[in-house]
Structure formats: structure tokens, C-alpha cells
Amino acid sequence: MGRHAVQRLLMAIPVLFGVVLVGFLLMQVVPNDPALVRAGPSATPDVVEALRRDMGLDRPLYEQFGIYLWRLVQGDLGVSIINNVPVVQELGNTVGPTLELMFASLIWSIPIGIALGTIGAYWRGKLADRLITAFAVAGGSIPVFFLGLVLIWYVGFRLQLLPFTGRAGPLWTEEGLKAIILPALTLGGVFIGPVARMTRTAVLDVLGVEHVRTARAKGLGEFKVVTRHALRNALIPVVTLVGLQIGFLLGGAVVTETVFSWPGVGRLAVGAILSADFPMAQGTIIILSLGFIIINLVVDVLYAALDPRMRT
Amino acid sequence: MSMSDSLLRIEDLRTVFRSSNGDIAAVDGVTLEVPRGKTLGIVGESGCGKSMLSLSIMGLVPRPGRIAQGRVLLEEQDLASLSPAGMRAVRGAEIAMIFQEPMTSLNPVHSIGDQLTEAMRAHDAKASKAELKERAIEALRRVRIPSPERRFSEYPHQLSGGMRQRVMIAMALSCKPRLLIADEPTTALDVTVQAQILDLLRDLQAETGMSVILITHDLGVVAEMADEVAVMYAGRVVERGTAKDIFEDPQHPYTIGLLGSIPRIEEDRDRLLSIDGSVPPPFAFPKGCRFNPRCPFAIRACTEIDPPLRELSPGHRAACIRAPVELALDIAA
């Protein structure tokens, strides 16, 4: 299992390289000129030209990329061309809040999604199943920003129950906890549907397998039959699918952070792209991709932990 | 056979599945006794209702099926009328079951030991963990699994098919049931392993005095194991008797056909006899005797009269209006 993880880790390196390359090239395609952005609208052409040389933008593309890569492996992602803050420092400040938001969103939505999916599978075709399926489809179809706006308007604005702008401190303080509820409800809310649907399918598959009949023949209660012999096995595919979905949830985090002014990587990315802050935008792309890769690694390890057949 | 000789009595059992055309009976009015300490073989082609009969006894008929009529008496207790919780207490403890597919009948994600102790704990909540482990290892030893201590913490994929079936048997017997239902226990195994498993079952039966219902389509297995035999066709018992009755003096054309399809070394036959066609599905049972479209001896009356089981000699019953004729002779001709 250890070798398996190391193997996966090594395989992540070319993936990451690809991400850096694509991110770099994307920024070249954007019609904005970084030197022009840096110099400001009132700068003379001479100043812009000098800046371009200074920033190395007059060199051939491969050379620019080589320099970027060389700095990257040293942990240097450049400085923001808007406010001169090192990109690494800005990323360091925003990764925490994003992780916090992801955690607060997943901690409740995954268990609820799995429970709903299991209930739906067990009572397949019954009223409970139909309600859950309808809920899952509806939930999965609501855009993140819309759910966020509805929560802001109703819970935050009309009822004045919870704050809805920004982060108010770490999770373990009362203010911090209150501030994260609405963003976490938004981001987690759109996740319940997909998790429930995937779980329902997986549990349904396992419920038809002979070993479930064996479990019943032993005289086990239905709760044990479903949890230990159906859900436990179904978790193997569910973990894989949920892992993939968490990657896509990073996209949802970008929207949620923007809607709720949550000071995370997603909002940083949007801000950087809108203001043509090239190094910053590239940095956020790299960090979000890294997140995706790490999640996939965790899924791989979890997969082996859940399935004894993978261990030998 | 008097009533007190039987451990289990099935009376007029009907297990139906709801469909858009009304209820469809997979088991249709079956009456059987399972003798105490002996083996009842239930034989038939796939689709004849034998597996559904065993699931009905266990109270495990899959939805949307249900027992619509009849009683399943274990001693004096009617299992068909028990509550789900009451049935759960019987399942695994009084009646245990092993299945055809040893590859898929064990859960791949739990260790052998976990699955064994789980079965015991379900019926003995007080036993300590160490005690359960000891009992599980003992159960594995009883089914002659080598180095049971090591196997205890292994997973099903690390065992061969024969070993898995032994684990299934160990699990089934772990709570000392009075009745073991073995549904095609050796069908998925190779011939040598098959013989070992049958030997094991016979020895364990002698040791524990339990009754066995052996469900199979393999008459060779029945001949080797069963004291009494019931032949099922299209949801019904068409012939019942001692193993001797069935094998030496079969009376129902279906039984005769089944026996004709066993290969025998001592007979020099150019081809095996076989029964044309297959068991009709429950929604397409013919009028009259359900076997009549496939029966070489069918007369016009067979398409009109639904024959009841008739006693032809003490304990030997067949559901055929043409019995007892010397059908066996006809077939040889």
C-alpha cells in the first residue's frame, strides 16, 4: 500500500508540470499586456517598454517559461503586478480559509448525502426514495451562486439570523462559526444531491449481491445488514466518485467565496483574473490544481484502506 | 411417516409475486416434511421453485414476493406467521442456510473471522470477544480448514472456492442449528472439491444430528446424500418418496426424464436421454398437468386434469394420472 501511494505521488509530478504549462500558456493568450497593466493607464510607451524588458517579457516564450519554472521549484511564484505582494504570501493567507470552507461544507453534506442515498436505495421505488431522488436532482441542478443568493437574501437579510459577508475569525470562535454557516450551507448544499445519487446507485448494486442474503440468513438485523454489508461495500465506489466530485467542488468554492466575500483562494483567483494580475492568477491555478491532485491521492489511499483486495 | 418424526413440516405453502396480471406463484401449494436428523433432497431444474421454497422457509423471499398461504412448522412453531424480529431469531440459530456461490456469498470487505463472529454475536449478545474468537476458530477447525488461526484474520479473496464454502458451512453451523438448508452447495465447485464438501456435510450431520434440506438439480448428489427426495416441477412437488423409491421406482414422467439424463458408466448408451424444452415461467403454466407439453406419455386428459399427489405405495406419492404404469419399461422400449 505504501508503494502504491509513492507511485501515485510520482505520477502527480508530470500532471503538475502540465498544469503549470497550460496555466502559463493561457496567460499568454489573454489579450492583456502585463507590462501595460503594471505601468498603469497614464504611462508613456517608453516606460512600458522598459518595464517589459525588466519583467523579461521581451524574451522568447520558452525562456520565459524556463525562468518561471526555475523560480517555481524554488518556491517563488513572483509578485503581484497590482500590489507587489509576493504571490506565495497571498496564497498562504487564502489557502486556510478555503480549506476551512471546504471542510465545513463537506463535514455535513457527505454524511447526509450518504444517508439519503442509502435510505433511497433501501426503500427503492417507495415514497421516501422518490422524494430523495427529486430532492437530489433539484439540489444538483441549482447553481451555487443562486443558492448562495437565496440564503443571503432570506436568512441573512430578511431574517437577520446570520452574517453573510466575509470571515470573522477561526472556526472555533463563535463569530467565526456563525460566519461560515451560510457559505458552508451553500457549498455543501449543492453537494448533497450528487453524493446521494451516487450512494443510492452503489448501495442498490450491493444490495442485490449474494453476501447480503448471507448476512440476512445469519439472522442479522436490517440495520446491520444495510450498514455493514451493503453500505460498507458501496463506500468503495462512492469514495472514488465523491473524490472526483470534490475536485469539481473547488469550482463551486470559487463562486461561493465570491458571493460571500470569503477571503479564500477562489476569490483571489477571480480578483486576479479580473484585474489581469498574471502571476497571481497563475499561482491560484497551480494551487487549485495541487488541491485536486492531493484529493485524488487521498482517494487512492482511502480506496486501498476500504478494499482488502487492493492491499495484497 | 408420523408427525413426530419430522422436524419441519411445510403445509400447502404458496409463495407469490405480484405482477400486473395478478399474483404469480413461484411455489404453489407445496406440502413436505423434513425428517429429524435426516436429509431431504429437493430436486428440479432451474426455475422449478426449489430455491424460492428454501427462501420461503428462511423468511427471505425477496420483494415483491410474499408467502400468500400455508404454514412452515418448525416443531410446533409456524415460521410463516412470525414477526420479522421473531424470524430473525430463528434465522441462523435454528435454521441456517448455505448458498451456491461461495465466491460471492461471503462479504469481500470483512475478514473471515469478523463474518463468523458476527453470526454468533447476532444470537449471543453476551459472549465476549475472546470467547467468540475461540469459538470461531473451533468452527473453522470443525470444517477441516487448515491453520484456522491464520484463516481467521484473512479475507475471502485469499481463499479458494472450496475453502470459502467450508467457511460458509462453519458460519452456518456456528450457532448449532437444527436444520441446515443447502442450496446447490457444490454446484460451483470442481468435482473433487464437491466430493470433499459432501463428505464434510455428511460427517457434520452425523456429529450434530441436524436435519438437512439439500436443494440441487444434480441427481448424483441427491443419490449420495438424501434419505428422502422431493421432485419439484413448476412450483409444485410432483413426486415424493424415499431415495430408494425415487431412484429405483420412479413414477412421474418428469422424474424418469431426470433420471434418464444422468450419465451412467455401466450402461452403453449412444446418447443421454433428455427432456425437451424447459420449465415454463410461472405466468405461462399450461392447463391441466404442468408437465404435459413436455411429457412423452401425455394423453388428452393430461391437458385437462390437474393431477394431485397420490400415494402409490406407503410414503411414495406422485402427481400423475398415468401412474403407476410401467413407465420405466416404456422408456426403455
Of the candidates A210, A219, A308, which has its C-beta nearest B105's C-beta?
A210
pLDDT value at residue B298: 82
Domain count of the fold of chain B = 2
Question: CB atoms < 10 A from the CB of B326, how many?
Answer: 11
Q: Do B240 and B210 have their domain in common?
A: yes
Cα R_g (chain A), whole angstroms: 24
Q: The sheet that has B22-35: what strands, in order across it?
A: B22-35, B6-19, B65-74, B77-78
Of B91, B61, B54, nearest in space to B183 by CA? B54
Q: What is the pLDDT of residues B81-132, one digit of tens each?
A: 899 999 999 998 999 999 888 788 999 999 999 999 998 998 888 889 999 9
In a mutational test of the B interface, the residue from A214, A226, A232 whose CB has the highest number of chain B CBs within 10 Å is A214
CA distances in angstroms from B149 to A225, B27, B162, B167, listed in the order given:
26, 43, 18, 13
pTM: 0.82
* Rounded mean pLDDT, B301-305: 87
Q: Do B11 and B126 have their domain in common?
A: no
In a mutational test of the B interface, the residue from A218, A225, A227, A302 whose CB has the highest number of chain B CBs within 10 Å is A218
Cell numbers linked to B166: 467450508
Q: Which of B153, B175, B197 is the last residue of a domain?
A: B175
Q: Which of B150, B175, B200 is the last residue of a domain?
A: B175
pLDDT value at residue A5: 72
**What are the chain B neighbours of A209 within 8 Å (beta carbons)?**
104
Q: Is the pLDDT at B2 greater than 70, yes or no?
A: no
Q: Do B87 and B131 have their domain in common?
A: no
User: What's the CATH code of the domain at B17?
Assistant: 3.40.50.300
Q: What is the pLDDT of residues B197-214, one digit of tens each?
A: 999 999 999 999 999 999
Q: Is residue B100 part of a domain?
A: no
Q: What is the least distance, in Å, from the CA of A209 to any CA of chain B? A: 7
Q: Do B166 and B184 have their domain in common?
A: no
Strand partners, B98: B182
Q: Do B167 and B60 have their domain in common?
A: no
Q: Is residue B233 part of a domain?
A: yes
Q: Do B117 and B168 have their domain in common?
A: yes
Confidence of residue B259 (pLDDT cuts 50, 70, 90): confident
Q: Do B277 and B136 have their domain in common?
A: no
Q: Do B138 and B189 have their domain in common?
A: no
pLDDT value at residue B264: 55
Nearest CA in chain B to A124: B63
Q: Place domain A95-263 in its CATH homologous superfamily.
A: MetI-like (1.10.3720.10)
Burial of A260 (0-12, 13-18, 19+ CB in 10 A): buried
Q: Which of B175, B198, B215 is the last residue of a domain?
A: B175
Q: Do B83 and B209 have their domain in common?
A: yes
Q: Is residue B102 part of a domain?
A: no
Q: Is residue B103 part of a domain?
A: no
ipTM: 0.84
**What are the chain B neighbours of A220 within 8 Å (beta carbons)?**
88, 92, 118-119, 122
Q: Is the pLDDT at B315 greater than 80, yes or no?
A: yes
Q: Is residue B99 part of a domain?
A: no
Of the candidates B88, B99, B110, which has its C-beta nearest A210's C-beta?
B99
Residue B226 belongs to what domain range? 3-94+177-332
Q: What is the pLDDT of residues A256-282, one digit of tens each?
A: 999 999 999 999 999 998 888 888 999
Q: Could you say which residues of chain A have pLDDT below 50? A: none
Q: Is residue B104 part of a domain?
A: no
Q: Is residue B105 part of a domain?
A: no
Q: Do B184 and B166 have their domain in common?
A: no
Q: Do B247 and B301 have their domain in common?
A: yes
- What percent of chain A shows pLDDT beyond 70? 99
Q: What is the pLDDT of residues B32-43, one digit of tens each?
A: 999 999 999 999
Name the residue ranges covered by the structural domains of chain A: 2-73, 95-263
Q: Do B126 and B243 have their domain in common?
A: no
Q: What is the least distance, in Å, from the CA of B264 to any CA of chain A? A: 34
Q: Is the pLDDT at B291 greater than 70, yes or no?
A: yes
pLDDT value at residue B112: 95
Burial of B71 (0-12, 13-18, 19+ CB in 10 A): middle
Cβ neighbors of A95 (< 8 A, separation 6 or more) are: A264, A265, A287
CB B121 within 8 A of CB B127: yes
pLDDT value at residue A280: 92
Round to whole Å and give the CA distance between B161 and B96.
20
